[in-house]
Amino acid sequence: MPIPIHDDDSQIRNGSNSASASATEHAYAFPALKHFRVQNIPPAAYYIPDFITPEEEEYLIRKIEESPQPKWKKVGTGRRLQYWGGTMSKNGILLPEALPAFLSSFPDIIERIESFLRVASSGKGKERMQLDINQVLVNEYQPGQGISPHEDGPAFHPLVATLSLGSHTILDLHHYINPTCPSPPMIPSSSSSTAEGEGKTIAAIPMAHLLLMPRSLLVLSSSLYTSHLHSIASRERDTIIRAPSDDSTKEEQDGVVIWNTELLGDPDIVDTLSKDGRWIGERGKRISLTFRKAEKVLKGGPAGVLGRSLGLKK
């Protein structure tokens, strides 16, 4: 699997030294997670370019697009969603379903993500990251579509991995501010989809922007998951600038500065940015897959659901 960032410690990890490594882990070698960490933002975001091959990308797009019509749910702005692995009950419990082969066995994306997190986070005295993915949320965005600032919420383990397919986008990260303190412009968080966000105030200017290229994996964890929000602006094209404008409120008109330039592994964008001071990318159709772990799972699967609807105890 191509992970182009060279591990300058020459400590490519493949799990083979570890007694707890699974058999499949031996198939992959990953540089240490620190090489993928987005610097200067709260802990923690990791950006991994080219996590899958173009062939795998094409195959995944085809399998997702081929899904039967009822699998798709439309949301307000026209964006479409699919849930794999089951849906969440109103009280935040996963009603589990089997994951499809195109996610669990060929290509083995789920095992690759689990293996990456375990292996890349391993090291002396470090606690290995573990995700135990049990749900995959698919979002399909046409150019011009986005998602408003939100938290994914406490029903999920605060470690999620998002794979981008088909087109780039820019993910904006936001923080809450204390409305009683004088501070920069703010927006009330009525757009937040979670109860936790309600009544809090979101800084109007995003804290950071991350360019997500097709085939990349973005991992969000810790406080970036638990106490920040994320969004995607509804735009047809993105302009990235090398340096911030003098007037930060004008940033959205001029273009945005991204925080993961060094991690992109894309010499064309880096060259264009340093030569012209800006890079403009037309958005195409983008599909994102968010791999996550619902903390509470209904025992007994669909039988459990049936049991509950019949008033039986789980």
Indicate which of ligand AKG, Fe ion, none lies near residue 135 (CB less than 5 to 8 Å, by partner kind): none
DSSP 137-175: EEEEE-TT--EEEE---TTB-SEEEEEEESS-EEEEEEE
Beta strands in the chain (DSSP E): 45-48, 73-74, 80-84, 86-88, 94-96, 135-141, 147-150, 159-165, 169-177, 186-188, 201-203, 208-212, 217-221, 228-232, 237-241, 278-282, 286-292
Question: In this complex, which beta carbon is closest to Fe ion, that of residue 150 or of residue 308?
Answer: 150
Instruction: Write the binding mask 236 to 275 for ligand AKG: x where contact by CB under 6 A, - elsewhere.
Output: ----------------------------------------
Q: Is 137 in the site for ligand AKG (CB under 6 A)?
A: yes
Indicate which of ligand AKG, Fe ion, none lies near residue 137 (CB less than 5 to 8 Å, by partner kind): ligand AKG
Of the candidates 122, 135, 139, 189, which one interacts with ligand AKG according to CB under 6 A? 139
Of the candidates 209, 228, 230, 292, which one interacts with ligand AKG according to CB under 6 A? 230
CA distances from 149 to 31, 156, 196, 202, 203 (A): 32, 17, 13, 9, 11
Of the candidates 50, 111, 114, 152, which one interacts with Fe ion according to CB under 5 A? 152
In angstroms, rounded to a whole number, what is the distance separating the alpha carbons of residues 78 and 203?
26
Distance in Å, CB of 138 to ligand AKG, minimum: 9
Q: Is 162 in the site for ligand AKG (CB under 6 A)?
A: yes
CA distances from 304 to 88, 93, 301, 313 (A): 14, 12, 5, 9
Distance of CA 49 to the CA centre of its chain: 13
Distance in Å, CB of 141 to Fe ion, minimum: 13
DSSP 258-290: -S-GGGS--HHHHHHHHHHSEEEEE---EEEEE
Instruction: Write the binding mask 270 to 289 for ligand AKG: x where contact by CB under 6 A, - elsewhere.
Output: ------------------x-
In angstroms, rounded to a whole number, what is the distance separating the alpha carbons of residues 15 and 28?
8
Q: Which stretch binds Fe ion (CB under 5 A): 73-81, 106-114, 147-155, 171-179?
A: 147-155
Nearest residue to ligand AKG on Cβ basis: 288
Distance in Å, CB of 223 to ligand AKG, minimum: 17
User: Between residue 190 and residue 229, which ones bind ligand AKG under the rule CB under 6 A?
Assistant: none
Residues forming the site for Fe ion (CB under 5 A): 152
Residues forming the site for ligand AKG (CB under 6 A): 137, 139, 147, 152, 162, 171, 230, 288, 290
